């Protein structure tokens, strides 16, 4: 039996002062020095930690915002001297999609490789736009999957990338069907190209080593193949070169890699044929941009016999590109997935979905919607303490000082993050009674869609919800 998939991790502490959410404002001048001051009762011991923090403070812009927001001290102070504030720097992180909470939880996972615990209490509405309108059904936990969470049984997160035959043919001598090449990775996640608008630090050496350590793949620009070849020490099995329009890869590189990606275009079939002529064992993926015509084009490509793998990409926030009323990634995955089922082609094609995958639950939900695996880009950057600010350009200061990171820190944080995502996928699958991520694909019976429930419940009374 092969070894269980396991990612080696170790804690990697942040280089910069933590940017927490809550801080306590303390009006000491009216304090009556109570015998049992509420500060001593903080279960997280934040007041003593704050005193220690201030003693060793090296930067004036780094105030202590590490309170857990339980409100105990605020409510119990006998003179009502304490009040809680939200850190303005925290509120300025990210954007409307990549919220400060997503960034903070990603930082924590990249530091510890542990599953974040959000605690009890009401945290706001139970549904929202995008993936927040999907609830996974966690009621199916059974003994083998519960044991899978704790490592006594095995929950497989491995996926196959490539074309699978629609049926198998046998004769007296055995299998007659010729099996197309497949690439198996142990996690339904690949690392995508670094986005052009967040190109300040050169992450190529870090993502290359992270992909190797976590046994996943990283998509790289084919025009940089020599740099990647150097970073990978000549072992390119974890690199997927993206061959854009007019770009080429040397033949010896095409023979070394397992998977390449080509951009879509009218001559895509000829380009794939030319690549396969050099290396027939290569799996070729076509990247389809999810603009107004993206879903139709993805389904059209899947009907041809030359395309093995489709990589559909929304924008960084998971939205359809270049349309006035964009749909979200989950709707587009469902459209492509169901169209492929209707045409009888779904099981033959591998579908990779990317754009807006910000949390491990998004990975599980995208797979439930019909993707085989997902591609991510920004979460790995955020794992390096990036703020996702909108001034990421050479010559401008980087608040996270990402130009100065060393490889051990960068690879360690990225590896921790992928390990934490893997553990959370196992938790979700365990709670659903699933032991195999391949079976989760398109299993919408394992979740509920808010829009659908609302329509069924209130639609008869009030009609369809009107979106602004």
Contact pick of 19, 20, 21, 39 for ligand SF4 (by CB under 6 A): 39
- Residue 204 binding ligand SF4, by CB under 6 A: no
Q: What's the closest the beta carbon of residue 211 comes to ligand SF4, in angstroms? A: 20
Considering beta carbons, is residue 79 or 465 the nearer one to ligand SF4?
Answer: 79
Cβ atoms of 184 and 159 closer than 8 Å: yes
Considering beta carbons, is residue 210 or 279 the nearer one to ligand SF4?
Answer: 210
Q: Which of the ranges 128-136, 252-260, 275-283, 399-407 carries the binding residues for ligand SF4, by CB under 6 A?
A: 399-407
Contact pick of 193, 398, 418, 429 for ligand SF4 (by CB under 6 A): 398
* Contact string 303-332 vs ligand SF4 (x = CB under 6 A): ------------------------------
Contact pick of 4, 10, 16, 34 for ligand SF4 (by CB under 6 A): 34
- Residue 68 binding ligand SF4, by CB under 6 A: yes
- Residue 387 binding ligand SF4, by CB under 6 A: yes
Considering beta carbons, is residue 181 or 205 the nearer one to ligand SF4?
Answer: 205
Q: Which of the ranges 126-134, 196-204, 217-225, 430-438 carries the binding residues for ligand SF4, by CB under 6 A?
A: 196-204
Contact pick of 5, 14, 49, 70 for ligand SF4 (by CB under 6 A): 70
- Residue 73 binding ligand SF4, by CB under 6 A: yes
Contact pick of 203, 232, 366, 400 for ligand SF4 (by CB under 6 A): 400
Cβ atoms of 86 and 21 closer than 8 Å: yes
- Residue 193 binding ligand SF4, by CB under 6 A: no
Sign of the alpha-carbon dihedral angle for 197, 200, 205, 206 = negative
- Residue 24 binding ligand SF4, by CB under 6 A: yes
Q: What's the closest the beta carbon of residue 386 comes to ligand SF4, in angstroms? A: 3
- Residue 203 binding ligand SF4, by CB under 6 A: no
**Residues of this chain, 81-120, that bind ligand SF4 according to CB under 6 A:** 81
- Residue 386 binding ligand SF4, by CB under 6 A: yes
Contact pick of 15, 37, 135, 347 for ligand SF4 (by CB under 6 A): 37
CA distances from 337 to 163, 244, 245, 316, 436 (A): 15, 25, 27, 21, 19
Q: What's the closest the beta carbon of residue 97 comes to ligand SF4, in angstroms? A: 14
Q: Which residues bind ligand SF4 (CB under 6 A)?
A: 24, 31-34, 37-39, 42, 44, 46, 67-74, 77-79, 81, 198, 200-201, 386-389, 392, 398-400, 402
């Amino acid at each position: 039996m092969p070894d269980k998939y396991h990612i080696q991790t170790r804690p990697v502490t942040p280089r910069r002062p933590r940017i927490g959410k809550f801080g306590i404002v303390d009006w000491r001048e009216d304090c009556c020095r109570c015998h049992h001051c509420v500060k001593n009762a903080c279960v997280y011991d934040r007041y003593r930690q704050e005193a220690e923090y201030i003693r060793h403070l090296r930067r004036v812009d780094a105030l202590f915002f590490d309170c857990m927001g339980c409100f105990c001290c605020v409510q119990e102070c006998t003179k009502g001297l304490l009040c809680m504030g939200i850190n303005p720097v925290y509120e300025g992180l990210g954007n409307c999609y990549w919220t400060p909470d997503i960034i903070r939880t990603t930082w924590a996972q990249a530091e510890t490789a542990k599953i974040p615990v959000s605690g009890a209490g009401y945290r706001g509405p139970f549904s929202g736009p995008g993936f927040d309108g999907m609830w996974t059904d966690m009621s199916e936990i059974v003994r083998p999957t519960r044991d899978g969470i704790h490592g006594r049984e095995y929950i497989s997160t491995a996926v196959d990338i490539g074309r699978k035959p629609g049926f198998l043919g046998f004769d007296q001598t055995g299998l007659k069907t010729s099996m197309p090449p497949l690439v198996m990775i142990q996690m339904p996640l690949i690392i995508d190209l670094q986005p052009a608008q967040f190109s300040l630090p050169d992450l190529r050496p870090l993502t290359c080593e992270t992909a190797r350590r976590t046994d996943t793949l990283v998509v790289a620009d084919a025009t940089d193949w020599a740099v990647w070849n150097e970073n990978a020490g000549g072992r390119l099995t974890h690199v997927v070169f993206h061959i854009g329009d007019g770009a080429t890869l040397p033949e010896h590189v095409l023979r070394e890699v397992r998977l390449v990606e080509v951009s879509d275009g009218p001559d895509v079939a000829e380009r794939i044929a030319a690549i396969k002529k050099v290396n027939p064992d290569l799996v070729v993926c076509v990247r389809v941009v999810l603009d107004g015509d993206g879903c139709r084009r993805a389904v059209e490509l899947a009907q041809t016999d030359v395309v093995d793998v489709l990589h559909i990409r929304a924008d960084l926030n998971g939205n359809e590109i270049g349309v006035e009323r964009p749909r979200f990634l989950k709707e587009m995955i469902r459209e492509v997935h169901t169209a492929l089922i209707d045409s009888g082609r779904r099981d033959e094609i591998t579908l990779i979905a990317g754009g807006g995958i910000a949390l491990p639950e998004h990975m599980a939900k995208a797979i439930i919607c019909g993707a085989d695996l997902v591609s991510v880009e920004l979460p790995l950057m955020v794992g390096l303490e990036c703020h996702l600010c909108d001034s990421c350009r050479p010559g401008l200061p980087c608040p996270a000082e990402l130009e100065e990171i060393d490889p051990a820190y960068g690879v360690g944080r990225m590896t921790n993050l992928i390990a934490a995502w893997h553990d959370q996928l196992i938790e979700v699958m365990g709670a659903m009674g699933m032991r195999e991520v391949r079976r989760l694909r398109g299993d919408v019976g394992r979740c509920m869609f808010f829009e659908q429930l609302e329509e069924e419940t209130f639609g008869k009374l009030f009609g369809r919800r009107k979106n602004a």
